[in-house]
Amino acid sequence: MVANDQVNILMVDDQPAKLLSYEVILGELGENLLKASSGTEALEQLLKSDVAVVLMDVSMPDLDGFQLADMIREHPRFQKTAIIFISAVHLSDLDRIKGYQRGAVDYISVPVVPEVLRAKVSVFAELHRKTRQLEKLNRDLELRVAQRTQELRASESQFRTLANTIPQLAWIAGPDGSAVWYNKRWYEYTATSWDEVRIDGAKPFIHPDHAERVLAGVERSWAAGEPWEDTFPLRRHDGKYRWFLSRAIPIHDANGAIARWFGTNTDITEQKLAQEKVVESERRFRTMADTAPVMIWIAGLDQRITYFNKPWIEFTGRSLDQNAADIWISGVHPEDIDRCRKVFASAFAERVSFSLEYRLRRFDGEYRWIVDNGVPLIGPDQAFSGYIGGSIDITERKQAEAALIRSEKLAAMGRLAGIIAHEINNPLEAIANAFFLLRRHPSLDRDARRYADLAEGELARVAHITRQTLSFYRESQEPVSVSIFEVLDNVLDLQSRRIKANGIALDKRFRSSAAIQGFPNELKQVFLNLIGNAIEAMKDGGRLRIQVDERTEEKSGRRGVKILICDTGSGIDPKFAKRIFEPFFTTKETKGTGLGLWISRGIIQKYDGSIRFRSMRLASGHATCFAIFIPGLPAPQNAGFNASLVGA
Amino acid sequence: MLESKITILCVDDEEIPLMLRRMVLEKAGYDVVTARSAAEALVIVASRHVDLVLSDYLMPSLSGTELSRQIKVNRPSLPVILFSGVNEVPADAAYADLFLSKVVGPVDLCEKIAMVLGNLPLSK
């Protein structure tokens, strides 16, 4: 037994011998034995120390056992202290009862049997020890409770301080959702007091457009015991609404039941505005991009296209989700792909702007010339994020440029022709006059006259060439009525020998006798050129079809005559198609002047007419058709159809 | 027809073509006076009788069209033929009665002069 676990046993007897004998008997118990030889002394001992058992002799001088017991019991501290009476004198039942009534626990008569005394004392000592341990345990527990209470108080105070310093509006509700607490920020924001919000809580502050949804959500969450979240505007004290992100989480007690709801409202007005600005700026960009007359694209860091505007999608007839990996490059003309890839990749590597001209397939399959200008996208933090580019269809511009170059060339040719004509025509006239005079000179003999004749004849050829090629001049200032097929017949007459020689079948379809106002020799020159070319192209025979119709031009509504001259000859190589009306362009090598079609077109343009051609080179044979339209029929002519001429 | 001789005023700044043209016209039976400039021609027209003026178109200082315009101011009935080596019929050629290319040759030239003098239709 540990020393501090010993209990005190107080032995009271006026006879020292008895005290000694008790001491011997109880010594074996190993408890702490206190001795008192009188009642007074016993009381002193009791006050000094905590006594488990009092062993006392009933009969003692001046203060007997019963009197002492009474005094002990009166003191509240000793009401439960065990008392064992030892008596040699009073052996009656009455005495025994008297002893119990006084609260004694036990009674031992003399002669004392040592084992009995030891056993009884031992029981009470043990009882006391247990009681003492229980009391100690109790005290410890109470102390711990007090400490915990203290800790909790501190923790709650910390929580409130914290909850009052966060920028959010915070609240706590009971398990049923009724508000129990709001933080300071809440009161500041709403300018309310606890009394005003304890019943309805936040309800009156939710924007009316959102209230129904928000409250339903909260109800659901409370019923299910699950966290809640929503975004809605809350009214501020000045009546203005601001957007909040609201959250609530359940706090469970030790048994898992919901003890509290803890909620926060975070002001997200700025974020929302910023987000709206981003959305708005994105929307604005898209509207702008979609209405721009330019095809716009954006490429990411991996060089892949991530955005095409509407014009791009409409142009190509493809959208981003169609094979997005190579959506751009797959539309590029095969001959331009390598160049495009190279320029694009090297621009990416160096992060510099680039400009690229290439052919891109349009939705209808036609390749169009595109000029593409790409600019690196550099963010405010100088971070490179890809490219943005604009593409423009420059096919027409390119064609116009080419046409302009051609027409400038033509104009220059025209000016040159004018100068040459002037410089040749002046001496030509003088020479012609000189030969005219010479040939008629009376002194000329036959030989000399023949030489003059020859010279004059050759001179006429020169004059003819300058008139035919270098000059558009009109013989007469006033146009006359010209019958188109009279002129055509005239030309065919002139060419009849060559037509026969080449074995060409002639198919005349003159469906109009229409006459137009003009200059017969000019028109004759045009037809002579075209028919001459057709015959030239059919060296091994073929079919020459010449057709005349009255026609109303679709574009302008003008009425006029349409003349078709078609041959089944060698055809026109497509690569020459754009050039055949250019001056000095010829496929006849040394034989042609290269001016025939150029002059013909010039003449037809003077009539505000048009000259076009179409040439097909097929395995079954070639066909070339020149169509001339000359306006100038005032009104639909009733007598225009002359049956006798059809298929002549 | 050629008994009462018709006088043609021939104008050109180039001497030799002018001379040859005069000779051709004389062979055709006309009386010919020549002038080497439009200014000289105007003096002649003002000082003596002329039946027709055949003038070069491009001449230094005063052109053929300007000459015909000035002639028509005082003598609207005096026929003027512009004779030229240029490609295009100039816009102001209308002051003259006829614009003729130099490459038509002497025969055609005489024919056209006869037409203008005889007031015959000009085309064909």
Which ipTM value was assigned to this complex? 0.86
What residues have CB less than 8 Å from A547, skipping those under 6 apart?
A508, A509, A510, A511, A563, A564, A566
**CA separation for the pair B70, B62 (Å, rounded):** 11
Return the CATH number at A385.
Answer: 3.30.450.20
pLDDT (mean) for A427-437 = 91
Residues in chain A within 8 Å Cβ distance of B23: 433, 437
Of A421, A436, A477, the CB nearest to B98: A477
Q: Is residue A544 part of a domain?
A: yes
Same domain, A359 and A446: no
Q: Let me know if residue B123 belongs to a domain.
A: no
Banded model confidence at residue A324, pLDDT cuts 50, 70, 90: low
Q: How many structural domains comprise chain A?
A: 5
The pLDDT value given to residue B122: 45
Contacts 24+ apart (CB under 8 A), A180-187: A180/A260, A186/A265
Q: Which comes out higher in pLDDT, residue A206 or A92?
A: A206
Q: Are the beta carbons of A472 and B87 separated by less than 8 Å?
A: yes
Domain holding A131, by residue range, is 3-138
- Residue B107 in any domain: the answer is yes
Q: How close is the nearest chain B Cα to the Cα of A541, in Å?
A: 37
A26 and A111 fall within a common domain: yes
pLDDT exceeding 70 applies to what percent of chain A?
Answer: 89
Chain A with chain B: Cβ pairs closer than 8 A? 93
User: What does the pLDDT read at residue A313?
Assistant: 87
Residue A153 lies in a domain: no
Q: Taking CB atoms and an 8 Å limit, are B106 and A434 in contact across chains?
A: no
- The mean pLDDT of A337-364, rounded to a whole number, is 91
Closest residue to B102, CB basis, from A429, A434, A470:
A429
B66: in domain: yes
Query: Which whole number is the average pLDDT over A599-603?
Result: 83
What per-residue confidence (pLDDT) applies to A481?
Answer: 84
A44 and A127 housed in the same domain: yes
Instruction: Indicate whether A575 and A615 sit together in one domain.
Output: yes
Largest CA distance in chain B: 38
User: What gap in Å lies between CA A109 and CA B58, rounded to an integer?
Assistant: 178
Q: Which residue has the higher pLDDT, A641 or A344?
A: A344
The answer to whether B122 contacts A476, with C-beta atoms less than 8 Å apart, is: yes
Name the residue range of residue B58's domain.
Answer: 7-117
Taking 50 as the threshold, does the pLDDT of residue A192 lie above it?
yes
* Range of weakest confidence among A89-98, A103-112, A237-246, A319-328: A89-98
The tokens for A462 are 């020169």
Q: Whole-angstrom Cα distance, residue A466 to residue A461?
A: 9
Give the pLDDT of residue A634.
Answer: 64
Distance CA A331, CA A249 (A): 56
In a domain, A611, yes or no: yes
Q: Is residue B111 included in any domain, yes or no? A: yes
Instruction: Looking at the structure, tell me whether residues A442 and A424 fall in a common domain.
Output: yes
What would the mean pLDDT of A289-298 be, rounded to a whole number? 89
Task: Please indicate, yes or no, whether residues A491 and A622 belong to a single structural domain of this protein.
Answer: yes
Q: Is A536 exposed, middle or buried (0-12, 13-18, 19+ CB in 10 A)?
A: middle
A414: pLDDT strictly greater than 80: no
Sheet of A559-567, strands arranged across: A504-510, A542-552, A559-567, A621-631, A610-618
**CATH no. for residue A527?**
3.30.565.10
Q: Which of A503, A311, A287 is nearest to A391 (CA)?
A: A311
Domain ends where: A421, A447, A470? A470
Predicted pLDDT at A543:
92
Last residue of a domain, one of A220, A250, A267: A267
**In chain A, which residues have their Cβ closer than 8 Å to the Cβ of B90?**
none
Please give the pLDDT value at position A94.
Answer: 58
B79 within some domain? yes
| pTM summary value | 0.39
Eight-class DSSP state of A468 = I
CB within 8 Å of B67: residues ≥ 6 apart: B11, B38, B41, B42, B53, B55, B59, B80
Let me know whether A280 and A374 are in one domain.
Answer: yes
Confidence (pLDDT) at A60:
80
Quick one: CA torsion of A475, A479, A481, A485, rounded to 10 degrees? 50
User: Do A504 and A542 contact (CB within 8 A), yes or no?
Assistant: yes
Identify whether residues A512 and A634 lie together within a single domain: yes
pLDDT at site B34: 96
On whether the CB atoms of residues A635 and A626 are closer than 8 A, the answer is no
Token pair of A325 as six digits:
């990996």
A218 lies in some domain: yes
Residue A429 touches partner B, C-beta closer than 8 Å: yes
* Residue B106 placed within a domain: yes
Residue at A449 is within a domain: yes
Task: Provide the shortest C-alpha distance from residue A419 to chain B (in Å).
Answer: 8
Among candidates B58, B94, B101 on the partner chain, residue whose Cβ is nearest the Cβ of A471: B101
In angstroms and rounded to an integer, the radius of gyration of the C-alpha atoms of chain A is 65
Q: How far apart are CA A204 and CA A235, in angstroms?
A: 8
Give the pLDDT of residue A637: 44
Closest by CA position to A84, among listed A66, A100, A104: A104
Q: Does residue A161 lie within any of the structural domains?
A: no
Task: Work out how many domains chain B is built from and give that number.
Answer: 1
Residues A378 and A257 in one domain: no
Among the candidates A83, A118, A138, a domain finishes at A138
Report residue A644 as tokens.
Answer: 């006798």
Which residues between 86 and 105 in chain B have a beta carbon less than 8 angstroms from any beta carbon of chain A? 86-89, 93-94, 98-99, 101-105
Is residue B93, in this structure, part of any structural domain at all?
yes
Q: Does residue A647 register a pLDDT over 50?
A: no
DSSP-derived letter for residue A644 is G
A570 Rama class: left (phi>0) / alpha (psi -120 to 50) / beta: alpha
**A407 and A372 part of one domain:** no
Q: Give the angle A230-A234-A236 at the CA atoms, nearest 5°.
A: 155
Q: Which residue of A has its CA nearest to B93?
A: A477
Task: For the beta carbon of residue B5, count every other beta carbon within 10 angstroms.
Answer: 12
Residues of chain B below pLDDT 70: 1-3, 87-92, 119-124
State the pLDDT at residue A96. 58
B40 to chain A nearest CA, in Å?
21
**pLDDT of A468-525, one tens digit each?**
665 544 444 567 788 888 889 888 887 888 898 889 999 988 887 778 888 777 788 8
End-to-end CA distance of chain B: 21
Q: A32-56: per-residue pLDDT in tens?
A: 999 998 888 888 888 888 888 898 8
Phi, psi of B5 (to 5 degrees): -65, 135
B107: domain CATH number is: 3.40.50.2300
Residue B30: per-residue pLDDT: 93
Is A422 in contact with B85 (Cβ distance < 8 A)?
Answer: yes
- What distance in Å separates the CA atoms of residue A312 and residue A612, rounded to the nearest whole number? 34
A374 and A281 co-located in one domain: yes
Look at B88 and A478 and tell me if their CB atoms are within 8 Å: no
CA atoms of A241 and A235, how far apart (whole Å) = 4
Instruction: Centre a 10 Å sphere on the Cβ of residue A183 and count the other Cβ atoms it contains.
Output: 20
- Does A111 sit behind a cis peptide bond, omega within 30 degrees of 0 on the bond before it? yes
Residue B49 lies in a domain: yes
- Which residues in chain B touch residue A490, judged by CB atoms under 8 angstroms apart? none
Residue type, A494: L
Q: Is residue A329 part of a domain?
A: yes
Ramachandran angles phi, psi of A518, nearest 5°: 180, -160
- For residue A574, the tally of other CB atoms under 10 A from its CB is 10
Say whether both A520 and A625 belong to one domain.
yes
φ and ψ of B99, to 5 deg: -115, 125
Report yes or no: A268 and A230 within 8 Å, Cβ to Cβ. no
Q: Which residue of B has its CA nearest to A430?
A: B17
What are the tokens at A364? 């209808």
Tell me, yes or no, if B20 comes closer than 8 A to chain A by beta carbon: yes
pLDDT band at A325 (very low <50, low <70, confident <90, very high): low
d(CA B96, CA A137): 145
* pLDDT band per the 50, 70, 90 thresholds, residue A643: very low
More confident residue, A373 or A634: A373
CATH code of A61's domain: 3.40.50.2300
Instruction: Looking at the complex, report in whole angstroms how far the Cα of residue A469 sits from the nearest Cα belonging to chain B.
Output: 10
Which 3-state string (H, E, C) describes A121-177?
Answer: HHHHHHHHHHHHHHHHHHHHHHHHHHHHHHHHHHHHHHHHHHHHHCCCEEEEECCCC
